[in-house]
Amino acid sequence: MRIQLIVFMFLRTILNTAHRMVYPFLSVFARGLGVSLETMSVLMTVRALLGTTSPIFAPIADRRGRKFGMLTGIVIFTIGVGSVVIYPSFWTLALALMFAMVGKYMFDPAMQAYFGDRIPYHRRGTALAVTEVAWSLSFIIGIPIVGFLIDRFGWSAPFPFFTILGFVIFFIVWKMIPSEDSHHEPASNSRDAFRAVLTSAPALAGISIALFASSANELVNIIFGVWLEDSFGLKIIALAGASAVIGISELSGEGLVALTTDKLGKPLALTIGLIGNAFAALLLPFIGQTQFGALIGLFLFYITFEYVMVSHIPLMTELVPSARATMLSLNVTGHAIGRAIGALFAAYIYQQFGFLFVALIAVVFNLLGLFALWKMQKGN
């Protein structure tokens, strides 16, 4: 299990880098493709909304097995990024981002369910925190590499790199994960699994936490690269460096989860994370008057958000154990809707009202997440 957790951490780093590389370089992609920032924002909204289709596909892991679900996600990811290699354009970029999203949202719930089947609940927070290190490594390692490639060879340069790595991931999962799985009893049909989740008030409240927290995060995600470029004139390599700072903050958040979440209890840890993220969002516009202050503010915002997300996942794995992959895929839908909301309004709010209003609305979403957590604990 330890070896598999570490291997999957690195595999997910690749998938997460492809998913996240648009954020720091949003204006760079827009210039390279000859489109406006608003057009890219709409594309990000559509991509996030596409993530809401994950419940259609992800329950395959409950019916056909965890390995089949992971491999299917990787195939979709590889087809998407490979389309840009064949014909670089705005439309193939859109296809790549959407297929990479669907592939990731099939792969992640299947992987989390695979480990959820095998690791006891009282140790699951620490174990899944290991795989979530991939989220921070994508910004610490992956985004600087992507920035180097874009700076040297143009906006489409990362896509051949990701296409090759897609084949590598497929081979590793195919060899490492057993086809016969004694830890999982396949569901007879998806309808029963969906019914079990959608009739559970705690499960629906848990999904709402994902929606609100991701809305808050995406508002800042979409804008932080543009904000840094507008405020301080940061260029491609500098933006990659700023992304590495965010990655370090996320790694710190994942480390805190591994050390504290199982000991504190998942709900208390989640409460601390949501309150901390609200304070960090409120602080960000005020200490972000200098480049150093902006990086400190982003560090605090992302470390608290990562603490929320990584504490949230093990909590969700145990709400409906009989339909674990379906539960996790619907949780992904909550994240996807939240990201769509944030992406849809981020550019408009920033351009019309400034970064302060972006941060204030992020605070509101975090407070809504706290309310959803209270409802989940009440169980009705």
Tell me whether residue 86 is in a domain.
yes
Residue 181 lies in a domain: no
Residue 166 lies in a domain: yes
pLDDT in tens, 20-42: 888 888 888 988 999 888 888 88
The CA distance from 240 to 146, in Å, is 8
- Segment 5-10 mean pLDDT: 90
Q: What is the pLDDT of residues 44-96, one digit of tens each?
A: 888 878 777 767 765 676 667 788 889 999 999 999 999 999 999 999 999 99
- Rounded to an integer, what distance in angstroms lies between the CA atom of residue 76 and that of residue 192? 26
In a domain, 180, yes or no: no
Residue 184, pLDDT above cutoff 60: no
Q: Which of the two residues, 216 and 231, has the higher pLDDT score? A: 216
Grade residue 255 by pLDDT with cuts at 50, 70 and 90: confident
Which residue has tokens 């400190």?
296
Question: Does 243 reside within a domain?
Answer: yes
Q: Residue 293 falls within a domain, yes or no?
A: yes
Q: How far is CA 173 from CA 27, 71, 111, 342, in A?
A: 35, 7, 10, 33
Domain that holds residue 199: 2-175+188-378
pLDDT at 346 over 80: yes
pLDDT confidence bin for 139, thresholds 50/70/90: confident
Handedness of CA 285, 134, 92, 61 (dihedral sign): negative
Question: 182 falls in which pLDDT band (50, 70, 90)?
Answer: low
| Within-domain flag for 197 | yes
Structural domain includes residue 262: yes
Q: How many Cα atoms occupy the beta-carbon half-sphere of 88 within 13 Å?
A: 13
> What letter would DSSP give residue 89?
S
Answer left, alpha or beta for residue 135, where phi above 0 means left and psi between -120 and 50 means alpha.
alpha
User: What CA–CA distance (Å, rounded) separates 17 from 253?
Assistant: 18
Considering only residues 349 and 190, tell me which one the structure prediction assigns the higher pLDDT.
349
Side chain identity at residue 244, one-letter code: A
Domain count, the chain: 1
Please report, rounded to a whole number, the percentage of residues in the chain having pLDDT higher than 70: 94
Which has the closest alpha carbon to 336: 19, 38, 60, 124? 19
Considering the entire predicted model, what is its pTM?
0.72
Q: Look up residue 210 and give its two tokens.
A: 């994902």
Query: Helix or strand or coil: residue 179?
Result: coil
Q: Cα 226 to the chain's mean position, in Å?
A: 20
Give the pLDDT of residue 83: 95
CATH code, domain carrying 298: 1.20.1250.20
